[in-house]
Amino acid sequence: MTGSVAVIGSVNQDVVCEVPRLPGPGETVLATGARTNAGGKGANQAVAAAKAGGRVEFVGRVGGDSAAVDLRDSMAAAGVKTTGLREVTGARTGRAYVTVASGENQIVVDPGANFAWESGAELSAMAEAELLAAADIVVAQLEIPVAVVDWAAGVARRFVLNAAPAAELGDELLRRCDPLVVNEYELATISGAPTGTRAQAGQAARSLCLRGAPSVVVTLGADGSILARRTADAVELTYQPAPQVVSVDSTGAGDAYVGALCTALADGVELGEAVAFATAAASLSVRSPGTHDSYPTREQVVAARTAVPRARRLDFDE
């Protein structure tokens, strides 16, 4: 691999509880197990991209606590460069409370230092600007302030946005996203359209292309993903099925997908094939618990790619 990826985003310590089923509103359930592990959508994507073979730089903010040391070590162990990960005086490192049941999860994030950034003008004068400008791909998520995401999009040569957690996006930011990566809930928030079926998700993704996004990838978990691409006079929609696997823990599977996608794009792979590569990575990541430890190596992704079904044109009766 020769391409480089710069990830700008969140770093969290995940406090994970395993429960027999996810609690409803007002309900208390007893955990059958608990652990802490490294997390944060930004850090997860950086590790997934590095394990998939990318040269990866991470730009983020942590507090001056022991969690920050563990998280930096976890990224470095995967080969991620962390010179752009700065400690914010007086802040605490981000923390996420993750509940896992039967392969599904619920997450609440306490952002801490992930929301303690300099202004865009200050960032432009810092080493972070050079790191991002030098990368083939810059990827961000929405666990950091949107103003920082806007700044990163302006500096990037090619910008990928994983709009998670969901938030409304301005047209200028949308025009920079190639691709915008969202799940069906995030797509519904951003597009304002229903996304309950594949056809609806395809139409909603198309509407974002018509609003200006060059491309949109919609991740549908075990049901695969949809790719919408603007061409000269239309929007092309394809459906990428996923291989059927038994999911033990889907926490961070979307991050495995985004990280691998960015590594493939940084290496000059065409977007449709990058989606298939990312699908292989995500299908491997759900087979074991946790985030960083569950992400596959490049060799594993390449081997699993052969089991990824062929993509086809999205049929609107689906």
Which parts are annotated binding residues for substrate?
Answer: 12-14, 40-44, 143, 255
Beta strands 235-240; 225-230: pairing state = antiparallel
Cα dist from 74 to 82, 266, 291, whole Å? 10, 23, 11
Annotated binding site for K(+): 249, 251, 285, 288, 290, 294
Determine the Cα–Cα distance for residues 96 and 290; give it in Å rounded to an integer. Answer: 13
x-marked contacts with ligand RIB along 43-72 as a string, rule CB under 6 A = -x----------------------------
Q: Which residue number is nearest to ligand RIB in terms of Cβ?
A: 39
Beta strands 94-101; 12-18: pairing state = parallel
Map the footprint of ligand RIB across residues 88-117, applying CB under 6 A. Answer: 96, 107, 109
Determine the Cα–Cα distance for residues 203 and 38; give it in Å rounded to an integer. Answer: 36
Q: Which of 4, 8, 39, 136 binds ligand RIB (CB under 6 A)?
A: 39
Query: Least distance from C-beta 83 to ligand RIB, angstroms?
Result: 22
Annotated binding site: 12-14, 40-44, 143, 183, 219-224, 249, 251, 254-255, 285, 288, 290, 294
Determine the Cα–Cα distance for residues 76 and 62; give it in Å rounded to an integer. Answer: 15
Task: Yes or no: say if 157 and 135 are a contact pair by the CB < 8 Å rule.
Answer: yes
Nearer to ligand RIB, 19 or 107 (CB): 107
Determine the Cα–Cα distance for residues 297 and 49; give it in Å rounded to an integer. Answer: 9
Whether 293 is a known active-site residue: answer: no
Query: Least distance from C-beta 134 to ligand RIB, angstroms?
Result: 26
Task: Yes or no: say if 88 and 79 are a contact pair by the CB < 8 Å rule.
Answer: no
Nearer to ligand RIB, 126 or 167 (CB): 167
Nearer to ligand RIB, 4 or 44 (CB): 44
Map the footprint of ligand RIB across residues 249-308, applying CB under 6 A. Answer: 251-252, 254-255, 291
- Long-range Cβ pairs for the range 75-82 (8 Å, 24+): 75/11, 75/38, 75/43, 75/46, 75/47, 75/292, 78/46, 78/47, 78/50, 78/51, 78/292, 78/295, 79/50, 79/51, 80/7, 80/43, 80/46, 80/47, 80/50, 80/56, 81/56, 81/57, 82/58
- Using the rule CB under 6 A, give the single segment among 121-129, 234-242, 248-256, 272-280 that binds ligand RIB: 248-256
Map residue 297 onto helix, strand or coil: coil
Task: Yes or no: say if 242 and 310 are a contact pair by the CB < 8 Å rule.
Answer: no
Provide CB contacts within 8 A for 31, sequence distance 6+.
Answer: 17, 18, 19
Residue position matching structure tokens 């994507």: 45
Nearer to ligand RIB, 14 or 184 (CB): 14
Rule CB under 6 A: say whether 166 interacts with ligand RIB. Answer: no
x-marked contacts with ligand RIB along 9-28 as a string, rule CB under 6 A = -x-x-x--------------
Nearer to ligand RIB, 14 or 178 (CB): 14
x-marked contacts with ligand RIB along 188-207 as a string, rule CB under 6 A = --------------------
Nearer to ligand RIB, 16 or 153 (CB): 16
Query: Least distance from C-beta 104 to ligand RIB, angstroms?
Result: 13
Contact residues for ligand RIB (CB under 6 A)? Answer: 10, 12, 14, 39-41, 44, 96, 107, 109, 143, 251-252, 254-255, 291
- The residues annotated with a catalytic role in the active site are 255
